[in-house]
Amino acid sequence: MLDRIALILTVIGGINWGLVGLFRFDLVAFISGGSGTLLARIIYVIVAIAAIWCVSLLFRENEVLERRRKENYS
């Protein structure tokens, strides 16, 4: 469950960066009243932590696949 939440937050962060890159529109800053507000900074930090968590998904892929294979053969 934590993996899915982290992945969703990372996707949201990626979409926000896409908006910044394409249209110079920061959705988080817009929602929170500016990029320097405490709320915006908290959101940025939460998304960053989620992205760091998602790095672990790169190294756990084989573990998940092996577990699924074992479940299918049991």
State pLDDT tens for residues 31-60.
999 999 999 999 999 999 999 999 988 887
Question: What average pLDDT does the chain have?
Answer: 91
- In this predicted structure, the answer to whether residue 24 has a pLDDT above a threshold of 90 is yes
10 neighbors 47 (Cβ within 8 angstroms): yes
Q: Estimate the crossing angle of helix 2-23 against helix 38-73, to 10 degrees.
A: 130
- The reported pTM is 0.76
